Amino acid sequence: MIFDLFTTFFKIGLLSFGGGYAMLSVIEHEVEWNQWMSPERFTDIIGLAGMAPGSIATNSATLVGYETAGVLGAVSSTLGMVLPSLLLIIVMAAFFYKIHHKQWVKSTFYGLKPVVTGLIIYAAIHFGLTNKQTEWLTWHNLGSVIILISAVIAIMRYRMHPLPVIVVSGLLGIAFFS
């Protein structure tokens, strides 16, 4: 089990790109494929991982590992997730320094932006809805949309700092969903 966690998260860390939120759908697929936990429990893990400081992908790996195999599972999953990035950064930094000014490199990064954006939007929609929910128009979703729109307006139009927006959103969540 410990080795399976390490290799699974090593593979995710090596082959995924776009940041933690973009990796969530890959992590979810592996968790379901290996039957490590229920989809409902995985959603709870993602919520907890998102509240903790650091990368949501690394936090998710740690929590999935802990839930699956205790402390050794958490350490194994975390190392599996972080090790590929560390090794790739060291190797790529040497090469990228020599080619970063070339147009094909810049074009490649511009081409990856829409894919990463799409993965993040998918993760937001997927985890924003209640598990296995068949109806889109519910009071729960309406409350979530109101909080979302309010937060976006506060940050983009009124240039509020994200921290008070997060606190107010949490208080609105308590008001709407308690």
Instruction: Give the pLDDT band of residue 38 (cuts 50, 70, 90).
Output: very high
Give tens-digit pLDDT for 126-149.
776 655 555 667 787 788 888 989
pLDDT at position 134: 59
Q: Is 60 exceeded by the pLDDT of residue 54? A: yes
- What is the predicted pLDDT for the residue at 178? 81
Q: Is 52 within the bounds of a domain?
A: yes
Helix residue ranges per DSSP H, the chain: 2-15, 20-34, 39-51, 56-99, 103-128, 139-156, 162-177
Query: What is the C-alpha to C-alpha distance for residues 63 and 24, in angstroms, rounded to an integer?
Result: 13
- The mean pLDDT value for 13-29 works out to 86
Residue 136, pLDDT score: 67
The answer as to whether 15 is a domain residue is: yes
Which residues fall within 8 angstroms of residue 147, CB to CB, at 6 or more apart? 169, 172, 173, 176
Q: 3-class SS at 20?
A: helix
Whether residue 109 is predicted with pLDDT greater than 80 in this model: the reply is yes
pLDDT at 161 over 70: yes
Answer whether residue 29 is part of any domain.
yes
Which residue in 83, 95, 76 sits closest to 2, CA to CA? Answer: 76
| Structural domain that includes position 32 | 2-100
| C-alpha span between 6 and 104 (Å, rounded) | 34
* Residue corresponding to tokens 């776009």: 18
State the pLDDT at residue 128.
65
**Lowest-confidence range among 48-57, 83-92, 116-125, 169-178?**
116-125
Look at the chain and report how many structural domains it folds into: 1
Is residue 40 situated within a structural domain?
A: yes
Domain presence at residue 165: no
Asked whether residue 148 is assigned to any structural domain, the reply reads no
The pLDDT of 78-107, averaged and rounded, is 89
- Note whether residue 87 is domain-resident: yes
Which residues, 6 or more positions from 116, have their beta carbon under 8 angstroms from its beta carbon? 17, 18, 19, 22
- In this predicted structure, what is the pLDDT of residue 131? 57
Residue given tokens 């973009």 in the structure block: 22
pLDDT band at 48 (very low <50, low <70, confident <90, very high): very high
Share the mean pLDDT of the chain.
88
